[in-house]
Amino acid sequence: MARKTYESRIEEAKAKIKEKPQNALREIGKLLTYAIRQKAGKSKKSRTYYLNGKKINVKPGRLKRSIGYWYRKKENDLIVGSKAFYAHFEEFGSSKNPKNPFIMPVVMQNKDMIQGLIMDALKELEKEE
């Protein structure tokens, strides 16, 4: 009788298992980014901010366009936010501008959806093991 040989696919399985949380985090990032952009809206007029004593005029829509998500592979986490330097002034307010939160309310509204997606990814991992 001829001997059968089998190849180990453990490394391939480990890679797929590691992909699941990444995919779940990316989906969460896409959904939150879309919802935050809807909440942020677009100002009808340009705004003025002061950074280190310099006056900076900002065109309408810049904040909305700067909202995004970043999946950090090394840290295995997700960051959702804005690249605009003045985003924290909008979210938390400043001495010259009232607060207009647009990130935290969306995250809190979608807390159950976020937890559900994470739980689904973990269940998928348990099935594969």
Task: Provide the pLDDT for residue 10.
Answer: 60
**pLDDT band at residue 70 using 50, 70 and 90 as cut-offs:** very high
Task: Provide the pLDDT for residue 128.
Answer: 65
How many Cβ atoms from other residues are within 10 Å of residue 114's Cβ?
18
Domain of residue 124, residue span: 16-128
Asked if the structure places residue 27 within a domain, the reply is yes
| The model's pTM | 0.71
pLDDT tens digits, one per residue of 12-29: 656 665 666 788 888 888
Asked if the structure places residue 4 within a domain, the reply is no
Task: Provide the pLDDT for residue 103.
Answer: 92
Chain mean pLDDT for the chain? 81
Spatial CA neighbour of 69 closest among 20, 31, 109, 108: 31
d(CA 64, CA 84): 9
Number of domains making up the chain: 1
Task: Provide the pLDDT for residue 13.
Answer: 58
Asked if the structure places residue 87 within a domain, the reply is yes
Task: Provide the pLDDT for residue 86.
Answer: 84
d(CA 78, CA 4): 45
Instruction: Reply yes or no on whether the pLDDT at 108 is more than 90.
Output: yes
Chain position carrying tokens 């959904």: 31
pLDDT tens digits, one per residue of 33-52: 988 998 887 777 787 878 78
Asked if the structure places residue 36 within a domain, the reply is yes
